[in-house]
Amino acid sequence: MSLLEVQDLTTAFMTGRGEVNAVEDVSFSLNEGEILGIVGESGSGKSVTALSIMGLLPSPPARIAAGQVRFAGQTLTGLSERQMQPIRGPGIGMIFQEPMTSLNPVFSIGDQIMETIRAHERLPQAQLRARAVAMLDKVGIPAAARRLDDYPHQMSGGQRQRVMIAMALACRPRLLIADEPTTALDVTIQAQILDLLMDLRDEFGMAIIIITHNMGVIAETADRVLVMYAGRVIEEAPAARIFDHPRHPYTRGLLECVPSLTEDRARLVAIPGTLPEPARRPAGCRFAPRCAHAEPSCTQAVPALESLEPSHTAACFRARELSR
């Protein structure tokens, strides 16, 4: 049985123009120890998907309009805030893009880590402290025992992200959701943090969902990839397959429009047009207006995810004929 199962998840937001689905019909599952990459651009719904799993969206304006999230056999959708709390932490941990605003500036990082542990376990102070030091050490903060009493502002961006990871790991979660964990970081620090996440997965065997807009981050970490566009999953496959045989025109575009670090290209293959805003999504296939292969019929209905190979699905009416 898989650790996490998301089924037909639809999350809607109340806006000035009525209710808008930020995420629609999202389904996927995740096994213990697996790293799933969710890739998409702004408005793709990748972050909303993560927050829906965690039950962290403010309601109103957000609401889970349909679908189910099951974690370790337990249905999370419909749980109250109180019932959700013991699951966050020991069950699912989360780290965010902006490590500065995710930490409370008025408490030392040691206090914040210990507070997280204390919320789920009763331990004597000395043990709490030892556990916090061990966690900081694990995430690669040098001289961890001395840094325990430092405040967030005394640390660099990369170190703060390490602290965030330490906090998330303090309760030994079975699943870690990392929402754009390296977007705010410099490239040398990004490489360190990605290495760290992989090391931790190998050591603790936890499952990880990495949410990113960067195909490189996916290539570095993910076992399996979910590509999202305008609120829907449009392709899912093992990572190597996504890179070798992308079947959805959008996935293909996403891979082609990024310049290479090793080979010269005269011109980038850009995807024309603009990402649709959630309230103004086109009818039918959401990608059709920007798609080079779109046909009139593409705007008639929303294509469903279809299995093209074992463990490779894509939501494109023309996926089969195009990849010939």
Partner 1 sequence: MTQPLLEAEGLEKHFEVGGGGFFGLTPAVKLRAVDDVSLSIMPGETLGLVGESGCGKSTLGRLLLRLIEPSAGKIRFDGQDITTLGRGAMRAVRRGMQIVFQDPYGALNPRMTVEDIVAEPLVIHGKPSGEATRREVRAMLDRVGLPARAMERFPHEFSGGQRQRIGIARALILKPRLIVCDEAVSALDVSVQAQIVNLLQDLQREMGLTYLFIAHDLSVVRHISDRVAVMYLGRVVEVAAKQAIYGAPLHPYTKGLIAAVPASHPSLRSRGRRVRIAGDIPSAINPPSGCRFHTRCPHVMPVCRERAPALLETAPGHQVACHLTEIPPG
Partner 2 sequence: MIEAEDIPERREHRATLRRLLRHRLFVSGLFLFGIVAVVAALAPFITDVDPNRLSMRNKFLAPGGNWVFGTDGFGRSLWSRVVWGAQLSMIIGASVVALNAIFGTLIGAAAGYFRRLDTMLMRVNDALMAFPAILLAIAVTSVLGPSTLNVILALSIVYIPRTARIVRSSVIVLREMEYVQAAVAAGAGHWRILRHHILPNAMAPMIVQLSFLFAYAVLSEATLSFLGVGAVPPTPTWGNIMSEGRDFMREAPWIITIPGIALMVTVMGLNLLGDGLRDVLDPRLRIQQ
Distance CA 251, CA 47 (A): 18
Nearest to partner 1 of 8, 309 (CB atom): 309
Q: Is 116 in the site for partner 1 (CB under 8 A)?
A: no
Assign 3-class secondary structure to 210-228. EEECCHHHHHHHCCEEEEE
Q: Per the structure block, which two tokens stand in for 286?
A: 């959401």
Identify which of 25, 22, 27 has the alpha carbon closest to the alpha carbon of residue 5.
Answer: 27
Contact pattern for partner 1 over residues 177 through 196, marking x by CB under 8 A? ---------xxxxxxx-xx-
Nearest to partner 1 of 117, 144 (CB atom): 144
Contact pattern for partner 1 over residues 244 through 283, marking x by CB under 8 A? x--------xx--xxxxxx--x-xxxxxx-xx--------
Contact pattern for partner 2 over residues 239 through 278, marking x by CB under 8 A? ---------------------------------xxx----
Nearest to partner 2 of 61, 273 (CB atom): 273
Q: Which does 137 bind (CB under 5 to 8 A by kind): partner 1, partner 2, none?
A: none
Stretch that binds partner 1, among 54-62, 63-71, 110-118, 240-248 (CB under 8 A): 240-248
Q: How many residues bind partner 2 (CB under 8 A)?
A: 4
Q: Which does 280 bind (CB under 5 to 8 A by kind): partner 2, partner 1, none?
A: partner 2
Q: Is 280 in the site for partner 2 (CB under 8 A)?
A: yes
Q: Which does 194 bind (CB under 5 to 8 A by kind): partner 2, partner 1, none?
A: partner 1
Nearest to partner 2 of 265, 280 (CB atom): 280
CB of 312 to partner 1, least distance (A): 15
Applying CB under 8 A, which residues contact partner 1? Answer: 41-42, 156-159, 186-192, 194-195, 198, 213-217, 219-220, 222, 239-240, 243-244, 253-254, 257-262, 265, 267-272, 274-275, 290
Applying CB under 8 A, which residues contact partner 2? Answer: 272-274, 280
